[in-house]
Amino acid sequence: MVETLSKPILGLDSEFPDVVYVSYHSASGKYGCYCHLGIHGLACFSSEAAAIRFTEWIDLSGMTVVELTFDEAREVAKARPFPVVALMLLDRMDQPKIHYVR
């Protein structure tokens, strides 16, 4: 008898959304980042409202929220200097979803 698992294991079903929102400072060309347990990543959110709250928390004049596709956000994260090594979905800041880009 062969049984098939009815639920995925190890959270393999969790994916990033097709569109994410990031904080961007146009004057400097920098993006909002976050560090979780020593891992530095480009901060992104699945909703614009959450990204706005994060941007307000950063409290840097001139920060705006920008909508990017997942692939665009990956490229932005790759272009960030070390120590940024990931794209971080921060819908739950205590348990971010981490997508490593290097």
Domains: count for the chain = 1
Judge if pTM exceeds 0.95: no
Q: Does 9 map to a domain?
A: no
Given this model, what pLDDT does residue 70 score? Answer: 96
Given this model, what pLDDT does residue 65 score? Answer: 98
From residue 100, how far is each of 21, 31, 41, 65, 89 by CA, in Å?
18, 17, 8, 22, 11
Domain that holds residue 53: 19-100
Q: Does 1 map to a domain?
A: no
- The DSSP secondary structure of the chain, one letter per residue, reads -----SS-STTTT----SEEEEEEETTTTEE-EEEETTEEEEEEBSSHHHHHHHHHHHT-TTEEEEEEEHHHHHHHHHHSPTTEEEEEE-SSTTS-EEEE--
Q: Does 3 map to a domain?
A: no
Given this model, what pLDDT does residue 71 score? Answer: 96
Q: Does 4 map to a domain?
A: no
Q: Does 2 map to a domain?
A: no
Distance CA 47, CA 51 (A): 7
Note down pLDDT in tens along the chain; length 102 residues: 555 544 444 444 457 999 999 999 999 999 999 999 999 999 999 999 999 999 999 888 999 999 999 999 999 999 999 999 999 999 998 999 999 999
User: What is the residue whose two structure tokens read 């990031």?
Assistant: 22
Q: Does 54 map to a domain?
A: yes
